[in-house]
């Protein structure tokens, strides 16, 4: 770039007054073939669900991540609702999950009449604090739902023995966690979503791999497979009928309409074909931010995202933890003035109007969840998507550094 000194002064003035392009927190990143696949799907004359692109995506998930069965769903929310039905949740059953999560994690189980018992997060990582779980388990506990926040694995070596000892169901809300891994002490590398009997993923436009609205139910325990297919098809065995396994289909079970149209799967296929490219772009942003901001952390000014040693994350989010709510508010407004959009994250569910309005037998005893509170008040996420240029990233990190050095 030409240095400012050599430019005519009129041009300088012009450049100085040109508003900087805003840097959006999220901007859906499409690679190219998505529209082409949607066109092909439309041209096929079959628009409803469970078509060729749906099968192609499902096979991809089964082969790449080793799920016993993958079923595309209309959203991660719907996949969680399918999981709650498959678990046979009855009124009075208790389900333990973090308070620091999206509403759908809890809503799906509340809809089936479960009493939701919220756990705190760890101090340094916004994942469920496994050390507190045993104190929350009662004879009525049916299962545990974990969320691998930002695609960072929960401590599975600590969790799995508890799940086994108490004979609980484990559901992974892996909405953030496509192509993220748990690293075992024995050198193993297990995709997140492979631990629970059931796991759920999201392809909402704010996630890594997208199709607008979409999700996946991953089934690791084959015992759930046949029933999951029925639940997804309005409670009917239509899928078996189309495979020619039965000569008519009928109402078998409760269920709903959880199938995405095949052209939605066609869009998703365009993303899956390019999964490596998308993930590498995100990881590059994450690593660039981390490297540029590490000196701030070393100087004790702000805490950067801490990746547990057993976690290979997927750059779903880049976040920092400020010292206080006041500092976060000031930082976000400082960045906003410079055209940089940032966001905080979850509002604790244990203090939400919906939870507090449940009848008493549907609520756990009120407890302070201090780590949840801290992440709710102090965590801030920086823009992270495939459209960010090196210059954009530098603008973001320079502004953060300027704020903390001011």
Ligand X SMILES: *Cc1c(COP(=O)(O)O)cnc(C)c1O
Contacting positions for ligand X (CB under 6 A): 75-77, 101-102, 104-105, 147, 173, 175-176, 202, 204, 215
Per the listing, tokens 């609205």 go with 213
Q: Which is nearer to ligand X, 264 or 388 (CB)?
A: 264
Whether the CB-CB separation of 278 and 30 falls below 8 Å is answered with: no
Cα–Cα distance measured from residue 215 to residue 200, given in angstroms and rounded to the nearest whole number: 7
Nearer Cβ to ligand X (99/105): 105
The dihedrals phi and psi of 116, each to the nearest 5 degrees, come to: -90, 130
Pairing of strands 115-119, 94-98: parallel
- What is the closest distance, in whole angstroms, from the C-beta atom of residue 194 to ligand X in the complex? 17
Q: Which is nearer to ligand X, 214 or 392 (CB)?
A: 214
**Using CA atoms, how far apart are residues 194 and 174, in angstroms rounded to an integer?**
10
Rounded to the nearest whole angstrom, what is the least distance from the CB of residue 276 to ligand X in the complex? Answer: 22
Least distance to ligand X, CB of residue 16, Å: 40
User: What pairing do the DSSP bridges indicate for beta strands 379-381 and 311-312?
Assistant: unpaired
Taking the least distance from each CB to ligand X, the nearer of 145 and 230 is: 145
- Please identify, using beta-carbon distances, which residue of 215 and 348 lies nearer to ligand X: 215
* Least distance in angstroms from the C-beta of 97 to ligand X: 10
For ligand X, the closer of residues 150 and 322 by Cβ is 150
Burial per residue of 322-343, b for 16 or more beta-carbon CB atoms within 10 angstroms, e otherwise: beeeebbeebbebbeebebbbe
Q: How many residues in total does the chain contain?
A: 406
Minimal distance, residue 270 CB to ligand X, in Å? 18
Least distance (Å) from ligand X to the CB of residue 101?
5
CB 358, min distance to ligand X, A: 20
Measure the CA–CA gap between 234 and 307, rounded to whole angstroms: 41
Residue 176: CB minimum distance to ligand X, A: 6
Distance (Å, rounded) from C-alpha 31 to C-alpha 281?
Answer: 11
Least distance to ligand X, CB of residue 384, Å: 14
Measured from the CB atom, the residue of 148 and 252 that comes closer to ligand X is 148
Nearer to ligand X, 210 or 302 (CB): 210
In angstroms, the Cα distances linking 317 to 217, 280, 288, 354, 405 are 22, 13, 13, 27, 24
With respect to ligand X, which residue has the nearer C-beta, 215 or 255? Answer: 215
Task: State which residue, 81 or 155, has the beta carbon closest to ligand X.
Answer: 81
Q: What is the C-alpha separation between 234 and 227, in angstroms, rounded?
A: 11
Distance (Å, rounded) from C-alpha 300 to C-alpha 287? 20
Shortest distance, position 210 Cβ to ligand X, whole Å: 10
Judge contact between 119 and 132, C-beta under 8 A. Answer: yes
Instruction: Output the 3-class SS for 114-171.
Output: CEEEEECECCCCCCECHHHHHHHCCCCEEEEEEECHHHCCCCHHHHHHHHHHCCCEEE
């Amino acid at each position: 770039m030409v240095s400012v000194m050599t430019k005519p002064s009129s041009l300088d003035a012009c450049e100085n007054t040109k508003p900087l392009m805003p840097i959006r927190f999220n901007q859906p990143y499409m690679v190219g073939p998505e529209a082409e696949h949607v066109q092909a799907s439309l041209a096929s004359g079959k628009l409803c669900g469970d078509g060729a692109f749906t099968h192609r995506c499902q096979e991809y998930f089964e082969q790449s991540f080793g799920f016993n069965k993958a079923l595309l769903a209309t959203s991660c929310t719907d996949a969680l609702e399918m999981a709650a039905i498959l678990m046979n949740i009855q009124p009075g059953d208790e389900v333990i999950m973090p308070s620091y999560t999206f509403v759908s994690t809890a809503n799906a189980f509340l809809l089936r009449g479960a009493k939701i018992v919220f756990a705190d997060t760890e101090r340094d990582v916004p994942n469920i604090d496994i050390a507190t779980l045993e104190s929350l388990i009662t004879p009525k506990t049916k299962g545990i739902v974990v969320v691998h926040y930002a695609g960072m694995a929960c401590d599975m070596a600590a969790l799995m023995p508890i799940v086994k000892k108490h004979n609980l169901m484990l559901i992974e809300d892996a909405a953030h966690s496509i192509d993220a891994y748990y690293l075992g002490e024995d050198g193993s590398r297990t995709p997140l979503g492979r631990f629970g009997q059931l796991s759920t993923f999201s392809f909402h436009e704010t996630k890594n791999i997208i199709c607008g609205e979409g999700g996946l139910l991953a089934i690791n325990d084959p015992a759930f497979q046949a029933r999951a297919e029925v639940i997804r098809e309005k409670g009917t065995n239509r899928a078996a009928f189309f495979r020619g396994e039965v000569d008519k289909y009928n109402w078998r079970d409760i269920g709903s309409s959880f199938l995405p149209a095949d052209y939605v799967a066609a869009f998703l296929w365009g993303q899956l074909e390019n999964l490596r490219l998308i993930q590498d772009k995100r990881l590059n942003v994450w690593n660039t931010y981390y490297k540029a901001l590490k000196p701030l952390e070393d100087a004790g000014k702000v805490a950067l995202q801490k990746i547990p040693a057993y976690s290979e994350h997927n750059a779903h989010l880049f976040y920092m933890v400020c010292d206080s709510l006041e500092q976060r508010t000031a930082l976000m407004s400082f960045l906003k003035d410079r055209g940089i959009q940032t966001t905080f994250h979850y509002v604790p569910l244990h203090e939400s109007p919906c939870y507090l309005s449940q009848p008493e037998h549907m609520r756990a005893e009120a407890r302070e969840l201090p780590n949840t509170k801290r992440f709710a008040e102090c965590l801030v996420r920086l823009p992270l998507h495939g459209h960010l240029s090196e210059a954009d990233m530098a603008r973001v990190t320079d502004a953060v550094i300027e704020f903390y050095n001011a």
